[in-house]
């Protein structure tokens, strides 16, 4: 593929293929509704969805703020606790070997089955949203922190000690740089897990937030508005991931 093409054409070919795939998807989506393959009660056309995007965003501005506040609280809490516990466990090889399988179990257990109990434990306001979001981000992040501990080479630590580095210097100059790539990928995983956790609880239980907006629009069959709200949610998630990516590039620029 790409033979007989100019370097410029070869450079932009992947982008062109991606754009074409998206365009084909949108055309099929639009035809599915207009030709009656799918009842418009259950699927809005792309144009209807876009037309409703701005009004839905304006109407849901307060709920958007609620979701973002809950997400940031959940993400920061989950990551902070994961870093603290992960680093503490990494101080000893024995504790890492003992606790890693148990914490991995926490990742695989479907926490959504505990949702009904969350009302009993945390009430019906924002607390169950934040706690579930934090839990969703905590487990993958703590596993990543513990795994990142394995990236630190023992001979590098030995060399640093031999050169007279103190514990804090060893952490700053050897341990943290070695762990950073795995920690950053853990941050992305925790970010999306927290976002998903917040949205799931809002969808199932909450009165406010984007999840609650999507739920109410679905139940009242405002199909175009509902798809616009889903598109808004997806856009927010993409924006958050891009912000995180740029932040990681900025703070990790010493590595390049």
Partner 1 sequence: MKKSILLGMAALALSAQSAMALDKISYGTAVKLSPVYYLPVLAGQDQGIFKKNGLDVEWVPANSGPDFHRALAAGAVQIGSSNSATDIPAIGRGAPSVIVADLQTADNFGIWVSTKGHINTIQDLKGAKIGVSRLSGAEDSYGKLVASKAHIEGMQYTASGGVQESMALLLTGGIDGVVLTPHQMIDLKLQGKVKEVAEVEKYKPQPWVSYTIVAAKDFVAKQPDVAKRVIHSILEANAYITSPAGKPWALAKMKEISHYSDAAAPAVYDETALSKDGKIDRAAVKNVVDFMVQYNLIKASDVQNVDTLFTDKFVK
- Which residues form the interface with partner 1 (CB under 8 A)? 39, 41-42, 116, 119-121, 123-125, 204-205, 207, 215-216, 218-222
- Beta-carbon contacts of 30 under 8 Å, excluding residues fewer than 6 positions away, are 45, 46, 47
Nearer to partner 1, 124 or 243 (CB): 124
Q: Cβ distance 111 to 135 under 8 Å? A: yes
Q: Cβ distance 139 to 100 under 8 Å? A: no
Cβ-based burial of 127 (10 A; exposed 0-12, middle 13-18, buried ≥19): middle
- Name the token pair of 184: 């950053």
Residue 206 Cβ vs partner 1, minimum distance, rounded to whole Å: 8
Residues 51, 121: Cα–Cα separation, whole Å: 41
Phi, psi of 164 (to 5 degrees): 90, 15
Integer distance in angstroms from the first to the last C-alpha of the chain?
Answer: 31
Residue 217 Cβ vs partner 1, minimum distance, rounded to whole Å: 9
Residue 53 Cβ vs partner 1, minimum distance, rounded to whole Å: 18
Torsion-angle region of residue 221: left (phi > 0), alpha (psi -120 to 50) or beta?
left
Residue 85 Cβ vs partner 1, minimum distance, rounded to whole Å: 28
Element (H, E) at 151: none
Nearer to partner 1, 121 or 251 (CB): 121
Residue 30 Cβ vs partner 1, minimum distance, rounded to whole Å: 20
Residue 167 Cβ vs partner 1, minimum distance, rounded to whole Å: 46
Q: Cβ distance 141 to 83 under 8 Å? A: yes
Nearer to partner 1, 183 or 226 (CB): 226
Nearer to partner 1, 157 or 218 (CB): 218
Nearer to partner 1, 80 or 121 (CB): 121
Nearer to partner 1, 16 or 125 (CB): 125
- Beta-carbon contacts of 50 under 8 Å, excluding residues fewer than 6 positions away, are 228
Nearer to partner 1, 137 or 211 (CB): 211
Q: Cβ distance 175 to 160 under 8 Å? A: no
Three-state secondary-structure class, residue 24: helix
Residue 124 Cβ vs partner 1, minimum distance, rounded to whole Å: 4
């Amino acid at each position: 593929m790409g033979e007989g093409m100019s370097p410029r054409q070869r450079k932009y070919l992947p982008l062109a293929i991606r754009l074409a795939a998206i365009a084909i998807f949108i055309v099929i989506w639009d035809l599915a509704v207009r030709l009656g393959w799918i009842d418009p009660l259950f699927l809005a056309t792309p144009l209807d969805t876009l037309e409703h995007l701005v009004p839905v965003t304006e109407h849901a501005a307060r709920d958007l703020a609620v979701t973002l506040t809950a997400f940031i609280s959940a993400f920061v809490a989950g990551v902070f606790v994961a870093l603290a516990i992960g680093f503490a466990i990494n101080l000893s090889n024995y504790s890492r070997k003992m606790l890693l399988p148990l914490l991995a179990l926490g990742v695989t257990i479907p926490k959504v089955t505990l949702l009904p109990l969350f009302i009993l434990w945390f009430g019906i306001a924002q607390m169950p949203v934040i706690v579930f979001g934090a839990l969703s981000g905590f487990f993958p992040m703590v596993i990543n922190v513990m795994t990142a501990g394995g990236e630190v080479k023992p001979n590098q630590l030995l060399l640093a000690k031999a050169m007279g580095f103190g514990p804090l210097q060893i952490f700053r100059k050897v341990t943290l740089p070695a762990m950073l790539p795995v920690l950053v990928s853990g941050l992305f995983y925790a970010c999306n897990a927290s976002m998903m956790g917040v949205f799931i609880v809002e969808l199932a239980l909450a009165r406010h937030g984007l999840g609650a907006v999507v739920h109410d629009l679905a139940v009242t069959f405002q199909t175009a508005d509902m798809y616009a709200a889903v598109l808004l949610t997806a856009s927010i998630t993409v924006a958050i991931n891009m912000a995180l990516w740029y932040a990681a590039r900025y703070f990790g620029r010493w590595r390049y």
